[in-house]
Chain A
């Protein structure tokens, strides 16, 4: 007969609060890293979703007629500005 591992203990006896596993999501938001802020020209946006596809932070949010940026998480990398096929996004300097 094939040797099989035996259970070392009854798992149901482990107290539920003993686990060292992290259970809370990290609430850090990197929006304050930014030195440049993306601004979407709503008239130029055609909703092709290219900005969303290439945004590393995935901070692009859909609005009824355009795609906008969630500035709480946007790090200001500028990829959306370069990738937008209709040049609808510009980066402007953050003011204090």
Chain B
């Protein structure tokens, strides 16, 4: 069993230009838009899509009396075999999505074959859409690669509903694998039961609970001990932004300076969320927290956030990167790079983790908030190695309006116009700074192209 790539349609981004239909007709040699295998249909004030979805349990395949339609177990594409087809058109009745229709010019039914996406990169219609209404979603690749690996946390962790940190923990530790010693300083990660209580543990690998101050130094000792024993393992830290940028910074900075072979993952939810949402040095300007309240005197945090990943880059670590759960393929690629780098030096991964409880938004919007943070440039995705310098994982020149991100969260509800101007101004400075570090634009790598799509 496996998962498959799919074409997704966002009606709110479609402007009805029909470029996708022209592109499909051109690639498939159809007469024109009318014979295209993708059809955009105007409906009321919106648009609807009629094309083959490559269903999990395809009705067209079930009703075909000649076995001319079959679902490919590898690619998931439903293929049509002209040699077997008897032109009964039952499949066109079976499909509820307008995905297989009779083409008068061809004299038989036609349907989308995803343009053999493994060769083409993405189907022609998706490539032709410059509004982002059609998206080629290839994250099934991650499932097929790691879906069988064991989740190394217990099924029941008491993170809040929709906790992004829990999502990061489970994906990260599964990828790193069982030959790991995990350190989680005080914060949401041990708080939700990763280190356990009363003789019970929440993690299936050796895990310990250092102080906020000494995560990196304790891991240093553990890694050196295993190395002396000649045992291959990953010394991994999962720390919050407090345990990284405030209280844990001294030992972290020391370990990075010494080039200890550690994988240090900072899960940045911009505050001490576990103890009641106090501000940290990663809390952005203007944000409400329980220690930067909103009232007569205060209007949220009055200082800008510390740029923690840049600080770590200045340690000249073997690998530094920022990632977001809104862009999982990018996150997985960076995890792989970080794991490889931790075998010969200090690897630091800074993953932004929107907090449904502390940032005040509904739990189901968590990934949407993470995505908006990146799309508005509030969070910039990049990676750094001493050899290649800083490389942007996603271009910064097509940012969506920052207010889309700010309005998605209750912690910014009180912002005045002046405060928004302040946030936009410091964001522009940050973007210019990162762009300067990234230098003149280099040709996009395959990974960057995937993130953009």
Contact = CB atoms under 8 A, between A and B. Distances in A.
Interface of A: 22-30, 33, 42-50, 52-59, 62, 64-67, 70, 72-73, 75-79, 81-83, 85-86, 91
Interface string B201-235: 11010000000000000000000000000000000
B336 to A, nearest CB: 16
Nearest to A34: B161
Contacts of A33: 161
Interface of A is mostly: loop
Contacts of A49: 3, 139-140, 142-144, 147
B3 A47 contact: yes
B101 interface: no
Interface residues of B, number: 56
A26 B196 CA distance: 7
Among B57, B147, B164, max chain A CB count under 10 A is at B57
Interface of B: 1-6, 8-9, 53-57, 59, 76, 96, 135, 137, 139-140, 142-144, 147, 151, 154-159, 161-164, 166-167, 170, 193, 196-197, 199-202, 204, 325, 328, 356, 362-368
Contacts of B143: 49, 52-53
A64 B363 CA distance: 29
A22 B204 CA distance: 10
Given A24-B201, A30-B158, A49-B143, A82 B6 contact: no
A83 B142 contact: no
5 contacts: A22-B199, A26-B154, A30-B157, A50-B139, A83-B367
Contacts, number: 148
A16 to B, nearest CB: 16
Among A27, A70, A79, A83, max chain B CB count under 10 A is at A79
Given A43-B96, A46-B55, A85-B135, 8 more contacts: A22-B201, A23-B201, A26-B200, A27-B200, A46-B54, A46-B76, A78-B363, A86-B6
Nearest to B6: A48
Contact of B155 (A43, A45, A66, A73): A73
A47 B140 CA distance: 8
What 6 A-B pairs are tightest by C-beta distance, nearest first? A78-B364, A77-B162, A85-B8, A49-B3, A65-B57, A49-B143
Contacts of A64: 1
A65 B59 CA distance: 12
Among B2, B143, B170, B368, max chain A CB count under 10 A is at B143
A72 B137 CA distance: 29
A26 B159 CA distance: 14
Nearest to A31: B156
